[in-house]
Structure formats: C-alpha cells, structure tokens
Amino acid sequence: MESQQPRVLSQQEILAMLTEVSEEEFAEAKTHSLTRLKHQILFEGTPGGATVRDTQGNEFIDCTSQAWSLNVGYNHPDVIAAVVEQMRHLTHVRYAYSTIPRIKLLNRLPKLFPGNLNKVVLNNQGGGSAIEAAMKLAMINKPGATVFLTAHRAYHGCSLGTYAASHYFRGVARFSGFGMEHFAKFPYPYCYRCPLKLERQHCGLACLEIVEDVIHHGANAPVAGLIIEPMQGAGGQVPTPSGYLAGLKEMCQRNGIYLIYDESQTAFGRCGAMSAAEYYGVAPDMMVVTKGLGGGFPVGALLAREDLLGFNAAEEHTTFGSNPVAFAAALATIEVMLRTKLPERSRMLGERATARLLHLQEEHALIGEVRGSGLFIGVELVEDPRTRAPATERAAALVELAMMNGVIFDVDMPEVECGTPTCRNTIKIKPPLTIQETQLDRALDVFEEMLKQVEQMDADSLAMVRAQIMKEAVPDRKP
C-alpha cells in the first residue's frame, strides 16, 4: 500500500486546522452561518464515554448523546479503529458498487430485529432519508396509494417530505404546508394528555378508533402506509401504551396499509431493548433506524418485509449514500453494543434513574409526569398538576442552568401559539448508554438542584426567558 502521509499539507498545518480556532474566526462564522450556532465550541469527547469538553476546557455530562445518537459514547475506540482501517482502503464509492462493509452491514441488520425484515436499504443521511425510502417503497408496493397517516407531534425529519409528515411546528416553521396533501394526521396516544380525555386504566384504547376513522374519511386518496414512532421522541418522550401497536397492526393489515415504525431514536438499546418492536413484541412491515447505528457516523437504514418489491436503479440512490467508512463504523458499533450488552445496561440504568425521578415527583408539583423506558426518559414539567399547563419557560431555564453546571439536557420540539411559546416542557434524559453510574447520579443531582431553582422563578424572570425563547424560535423575523 502506498504511503498515507500528507502530500500537499504539512502535519502541523492539518493539526492547526483542526485544533485551533480564534474568537474572531468564530464571530465571523456566525455571520456566515444560515443556522444558529450554540455558544460552546465542542472539541473533545471522552472515548466511549458520556462527557465532552469545549475549547475552553469546560466538561459536560451529555444527557442528549448529541441528538440521541452516541449510544456507544463519544468516539468509541473500536469504532475509530474500524473507521481508520477502512479509510486506508476506500473512503467513497458510487451508490451501486458493493464494498465489504456494505455487504456485511446488509447481512447484519436483519438479524437484530423481530419479524421478517430481511430487505434493507442503507443511506448516509439518516432518519429522514430512510423515512422517504419507506414511503417510496410503500407506494411501489401499493400502486396508486399516495397518502400516509402520521401522528400529531410526530417528528420524521427536516426534508420537505418528512417535514410535511411531521407535526406542524406552529408559529416557528415558515415553510410548512408543502406536500401536506400526502398526509392525514391522527392523535398520538399521549395518555397524560389523552385526546379523548379518558383514563388510561379504563379507556380500552378508544383512540384507535380515531385512527380507523382517519383511514376511511381523513385521506383524499388511497392510503399507502401509517408511519409511527413507537415511542415519540421530539414530540415529548411518549411511549405508546401497551396493546396500542398490536391494535394498529391488526388495523393496518385489515385495511391493506403498511405499518412503518420510525425507530430513529428507539433502536439500538436506547429504550432498554434492541428495538421498540422487540420491547412491545409487535413487528412492523417496515422499520427505519439511524442515530445510534453509526456510533457517531451518518448511517440510516430502512428494513422491510422480505416479500416486498425492492427499488430499481432510478428510485433510490444518492451520491454519498454508500459510504464505506460510515458503514465500517456501524459494523463496529453493532458489535460493541452486543458484546457490552448495552440494551440491558440501558434498561438497568433507566430503571435506576426513573425511580429517583419518580421519588422527586412526589416532592415537586412541577413534575407532571416521568415516563419512558431504558435511557429514553422524559420529565414533563407543568405549572399546576391539575391544569397540566406546560411549564415551558421553567423547562427552558432548567436546560440553560444545567448547561452552566456541566450537564447537557434538552427539551421537546418548539411550538408558538398566539405569539407565546408553549409545549416544549418535557426534559429529555438520554445519555450515552455507556454513561457511568456516578455520572448519571451527578446529572440527576444537577437536575434536582436546577428544578428547585426554576420552581422559585417569579413572573419577571419567566417573562425574560419567554422573550429569549421567542428570539431563538424565529431569530430573523422581518418586521
């Protein structure tokens, strides 16, 4: 093999390019960036761990896993070793070419999930691309059907198609509406805020009847598929209640509709099992996975029932959609996950954290509900447990204060109603599944301390936070 030493740049130049940045450069970058940049410049993650340092040397315990993706922790050594090895051989090929990592990943993925999900298509964009692949595959297999059912407060991606599939970011997104004729929406079984105002113990899953109604009367063309997050992530960390997915599956089968799980967040141990399909014991017709799969590298996949027709060469391909380096990362990530039993670890740590949070709830009326499974935890904050009015400002303040105290949390997706921010009141606790117990305890200590602080906030402080949320929600709104 030929020398891999740099030929044009010096090693020092490369080092400086990647490890040094001035205040001026950062300020200038902010003027160029079309998207908002956070204040911290993240620089170095702990190999295989849950902590990350910024360029100032501040260390954070990351309870977001960087968009719930670093299930095996930051730059896991085995993943890095696989990536470096692969990079020595090949870094990019055109979509149709086979490579060794692609072959092995195609063979590996179906063995991880229940059902007959033996057909796979890979990408290097993530969940949105895989959801669109699922929609295309459903339309190929059910010609003439062009409508999909999706849930209220769903999130399926940021491409124009998946944005339309997702919940409407009311008052925040400025290009919603595109492609909406292809989607019919149904209420998600968000039991804490039941769409039918029923009690979980006695409801008989009556909300399933609404879904059936939308299938028959809510779509303006034949329905191809129903896309659902078995546990809603961005919408507020909401698991479907027991029996719901089995009911949906029966309904989809009866109506000839493909049941598509969006497991972008839940798969690869996040929910305490390898997938939510396994957790609930209900396999879909198609399943989308990404995030945790790549161990920090961009990989998405659609798995589909083996009897379904696949794509022809014109229907599914992108320039960078077959990246051998990212696929090598995924192969190593899967093995690390299995050998270190990360799904079990997630379940165990999740139970421990949830028990503490439930105990905290007994003492703090601000906590409306603690929910989730494994290290997929949501804590919904409310102004009053009876009215359940969202404590949006207190949740935002808690996230901000925690960051100042070395812990990164996040909240659910934004919404603005009549010029005021609303919802976005569920704190997500979703650290790498490799997080040490002491680190998780520390993160929960900070959560508790900050909860006590935001509980005391007065009207003026809440108004200041509200103004800040609005500024960030739509930063360059024209007058």
Ligand X SMILES: Cc1ncc(COP(=O)(O)O)c(C=O)c1O
Q: Closer to ligand X at the Cβ: 383 or 412? A: 412
Q: What does DSSP assign to residue 9?
A: S
- Element spanning 239, H or E: strand 238-239
The residue within the footprint of ligand X, chosen from 233, 239, 324, 372 (CB under 6 A), is: 233
Does 188 sit near ligand X (CB under 6 A)?
no
CA atoms of 111 and 109, how far apart (whole Å):
5
Q: Cβ 171 to ligand X, closest distance in Å?
A: 20
Q: Of the two residues 234 and 446, which places its CB atom closer to ligand X in the complex?
A: 234
Strand 367-373 relative to strand 376-381, pairing: antiparallel
Please list, in sequence order, all residues whose beta carbon lies within 8 angstroms of the beta carbon of residue 367, skipping any fewer than 6 positions away: 357, 360, 361, 379, 380, 381, 382, 451
Residue 234 sits in the site that holds ligand X (CB under 6 A): yes
Q: How far is the CB of 33 from ligand X (least distance, A)?
A: 18
Question: To the nearest whole angstrom, how small is the minimum distance from the Cβ of residue 69 to ligand X?
Answer: 8
Q: Minimal CB distance to ligand X: which residue?
A: 126
CA–CA dist 151, 165 (Å, integer): 8
Token output for 115: 């059902």
Which of the stretches 10-18, 150-158, 170-178, 186-194 binds ligand X when contact is defined by CB under 6 A? 150-158
Neighbours of 265 (CB within 10 A): 29
Shortest CB 267 distance to ligand X, Å: 10
Q: From the list 62, 229, 278, 393, which residue makes contact with ligand X (rule: CB under 6 A)?
A: 229
Report the alpha-carbon distance of residue 150 to residue 139 in Å, rounded. 16
Query: For ligand X, which is the closer residue by CB, 101 or 157?
Result: 157
From the list 152-160, 362-370, 395-403, 451-459, the region that binds ligand X by CB under 6 A is: 152-160
Nearer to ligand X, 233 or 432 (CB): 233
Q: Which residue type occupies 422?
A: T
Helix (H) or strand (E) holding 19: helix 11-19
Strand partners, 378: 371, 428
SS3 283: coil
Question: Concatenated DSSP letters for 61-73?
Answer: EESSHHHHT-TT-
Q: Binding to ligand X by residue 156, rule CB under 6 A?
A: yes
CB of 237 to ligand X, least distance (A): 11
Q: How far is the CB of 347 from ligand X (least distance, A)?
A: 20
Distance between CA atoms of 381 and 163, rounded to whole angstroms? 26
Q: Which is nearer to ligand X, 121 or 397 (CB)?
A: 121
Task: Provide the sign of the torsion angle of the four alpha carbons 118, 121, 124, 130, taken in this order.
Answer: negative
Please classify residue 408 by burial: count the beta carbons closer than 10 Å to its beta carbon, then call 0-12 exposed, 13-18 middle and 19+ buried: buried
Task: Using the rule CB under 6 A, give the single segment among 32-40, 92-100, 228-236, 267-275 that binds ligand X.
Answer: 228-236
The reply to whether 150 sits near ligand X by the rule CB under 6 A is no
**Binding of residue 155 to ligand X (CB under 6 A):** yes
Stretch that binds ligand X, among 18-26, 34-42, 226-234, 455-463 (CB under 6 A): 226-234
> Restricting to residues 251-290, which ones interact with ligand X according to CB under 6 A?
262, 264-265, 290
Give the nearest distance from C-beta 232 to ligand X in angstroms.
Answer: 8
Number of residues that bind ligand X (CB under 6 A): 15
Using CB under 6 A as the criterion, what x/- string covers residues 14-33 for binding ligand X?
Answer: --------------------
Residue nearer to ligand X on the CB measure, 46 or 295:
295
Burial class (CB in 10 A: 0-12, 13-18, 19+), 131: buried
In angstroms, give the least distance from the CB of 345 to ligand X.
Answer: 22
325 vs 397 by CB, closer to ligand X: 325
Nearer to ligand X, 234 or 450 (CB): 234
Residues 56-75 that bind ligand X (CB under 6 A): 67
Which CB atom, from 257 or from 301, has the smaller least distance to ligand X? Answer: 301
Within residues 101-140, the interface with ligand X by CB under 6 A covers: 126-128, 131
- Restricting to residues 368-427, name those near ligand X by CB under 6 A: none
Q: What's the CA gap between 387 and 477, in Å, rounded?
A: 32
For 385, half-sphere exposure in the C-beta direction (CA atoms, 13 angstrom radius) is 10
CB of 457 to ligand X, least distance (A): 29
Closest to ligand X by CB, 131 vs 408, is: 131
Which DSSP string do the residues of 353-400 spell out, in sequence order? HHHHHHHHHHH-TTEEEEEEETTEEEEEEBS-TTT--B-HHHHHHHHH
**Smallest separation (angstroms) from ligand X to the CB of 231:** 9
Question: 3-state SS of the chain: helix, strand, coil percent to 5?
Answer: 40, 15, 40
Q: What does the alpha-carbon distance between residue 122 and residue 220 come to, in Å, rounded to a whole number?
A: 31
Question: Which residues in this chain contact ligand X in the complex, by CB under 6 A?
Answer: 67, 126-128, 131, 155-157, 229, 233-234, 262, 264-265, 290
